Amino acid sequence: MRRVSIFGATGSIGQNTIDLLRRAPEAYDVVALSGGRNIAQLAQDARTLRAEVAVTAFPERLDELRAALTGSDVQAAAGPDALIEAASRPADWVMSAIVGAAGLQPGLAALGQGATLALANKESLVCAGPLVLETARKGGGRILPVDSEHSAVFQALIGEELASVERVIITASGGAFRDWPLEKLPEATLAQASRHPNWDMGQRITIDSASMFNKALELIETKEFFQVPPEMIEVIVHPESLIHALVGFNDGALMAHVGPPDMRHAIGFALHWPERRKLPVERLDLASVARLSFREPEDARYPALRLGRAVMRRGGLSGAVFNGAKERALDGFLAGRIGFVDMAGIVEDVLNRFEADPGLLDGDMTLENVMQTDHLAREWADTAMQERAG
């Protein structure tokens, strides 16, 4: 039996992971499941999967979780420290699918105890790439990408030498507003930004897809995970979302990873790696697909990409600034405090403010420095939002 844990179990990636585990329950011994506010889902999955422990990220929800687990053998726990404790429990395979920088510490704990970490939480690599990789090295843990583009690149690189790679191309659907007239973008509503044309995902990443902040994070994730130089990484808009990434080699060959937009492929690949096993995903009928199209991402539509590129080149703690400011700006948009197009402006303001005091970006990549930087970036994003509100 493989010991497995899922952090962010109640979310979109978490539920897709549970769907795969349910198809072979005899193969898995579930150690920990974590959630946030969806206590009913967390308790129900913890019961049916017979988890050792269920953790909600929010201490004020502990009583509710305890009540929902009454009569079962599942332990209940709550809060950030309980997440770290649960991730430190020995497990063979751990899914990191909390949304946001909150996923960093549980992931580090899992890597520290030598687990294989299936990494959906791209924010970990964006905020603290070198620290995450070093923790894996020291703890004997291994990281497998779950983000569809990165799983695709990983698969295209099997059996290849990194030295023969010339380019890594990650695709972007273009998000909810890819065909909108630019002058209409300032009017984009939360409901409109929350509808993805191709993928069914959590609300935050769906809005980040509309703004391309998601792709900007993925640029940085690509550089950190595969250790390729920024100038080798390209983004292309591919509205069909069937090619997830391409790797270009020095002989001119491009290896593309093609498949339906279903995260159970990338999750299942990471679950069964290094083997391939049957997965319950649609088999593409290429004749009915008929055509695949591509276009250059427009700078004016997607300012987040330009910011992400600058951060990817800058390195140091700038990834933590970028992500922290982006998370707060997104909170602001979700709360109706700022408009859709204001998010990029807020993040740029915060980056500029840090850039004016470069010492802040060049500290050591320790957990403490990353957390402090994240905190300050959020504070400055709040200030920038207040200033805009006048």
In eight-state DSSP terms, residue 335 is T
Q: Tell me the closest approach of the beta carbon of residue 30 to Mg ion, in angstroms.
A: 26
Per rule CB under 6 A, is residue 97 in the interface with ligand NDP?
A: yes
How far is Cα 246 from Cα 238, in angstroms, rounded to an integer?
12
- Per CB under 5 A, which region of 149-157, 160-168, 193-201, 311-319 contacts Mg ion? 149-157
Q: Are strands 243-249 and 254-258 parallel, antiparallel or unpaired?
A: antiparallel
List strand residue ranges (DSSP E) for 129-282, in order: 142-145, 165-172, 233-237, 243-249, 254-258
Q: Which is nearer to Mg ion, 123 or 149 (CB)?
A: 149
- Letters for 124-163 (x = contact with ligand NDP by CB under 6 A, - = none) are -----------------------x----------------
> Please, are residues 79 and 341 in contact by the beta-carbon 8 Å criterion?
no
Q: Of residues 4, 18, 36, 228, which one binds ligand NDP by CB under 6 A?
A: 36
Say if CB 144 and CB 118 are below 8 A apart: yes
Is position 35 an interface residue for ligand NDP (rule: CB under 6 A)?
Answer: yes
Contact flags string 224-263 toward ligand NDP, x per CB under 6 A = ---------------------------------------x
Sequence-distant (≥ 6) Cβ neighbours of residue 279 within 8 angstroms: 20, 264, 265, 268, 269
Report, in Å, the least distance between residue 169 CB and ligand NDP. Answer: 17
Furthest CA-CA distance within the chain:
62
User: Considering only residues 49-68, where is the footprint of ligand NDP by CB under 6 A?
Assistant: 57
- Binding status of residue 123 toward Mg ion by CB under 5 A: no
| 203 CB burial (10 A radius; 0-12, 13-18, 19+) | middle
Quote the least distance from Cβ 56 to ligand NDP, whole Å. Answer: 7
Cα gap 35→26, rounded to integer Å: 23
CA 57 to chain centre: 18
Torsion sign (Cα): 111, 100, 119, 53: positive
Q: Which of 64, 147, 327, 382 binds Mg ion (CB under 5 A)?
A: 147
Peptide bond into 274 cis (omega under 30): yes
Tokens of 182: 């630019």
Range 153-212, binding ligand NDP (CB under 6 A) = 199, 201-202, 204-205
CA 390 to chain centre: 33
> Is residue 102 part of the contact set for ligand NDP (CB under 6 A)?
yes
Q: Does 268 bind ligand NDP (CB under 6 A)?
A: no
> 98 or 381, CB closer to ligand NDP?
98
Q: If contact means CB under 5 to 8 A according to the sort of partner, which of ligand NDP, Mg ion, none does residue 122 touch?
A: ligand NDP
Q: Which does residue 144 bind out of ligand NDP, Mg ion, none, counting CB within 5 to 8 angstroms by kind?
A: none
| Residue number with CB closer to Mg ion (121 or 148) | 148
- Which helix H or strand E contains 220, and what residues bound it? helix 213-226
How, if at all, do strands 93-96 and 2-7 pair? parallel
122 binds ligand NDP (CB under 6 A): yes
Stretch that binds Mg ion, among 139-147, 259-267, 347-355, 371-379 (CB under 5 A): 139-147
Q: Which one of 120, 207, 216, 307 is in contact with ligand NDP (CB under 6 A)?
A: 120
Which residues does 293 contact at the CB level (< 8 Å), separation at least 6?
238, 239, 240
Residue 388 partner contact from ligand NDP, Mg ion, none using kind-dependent CB cut-offs of 5 to 8 Å:
none
Q: How far is the CB of 26 from ligand NDP (least distance, A)?
A: 25
353 contributes a contact to ligand NDP by CB under 6 A: no
Q: How many angstroms separate the CA atoms of 4 and 44, rounded?
A: 17
Q: In which residue are the tokens 């191709």 written?
A: 198
- Positions in the binding site for Mg ion (CB under 5 A): 147-149
- Positions in the binding site for ligand NDP (CB under 6 A): 8-14, 35-38, 57, 97-99, 102, 120-123, 147, 199, 201-202, 204-205, 263
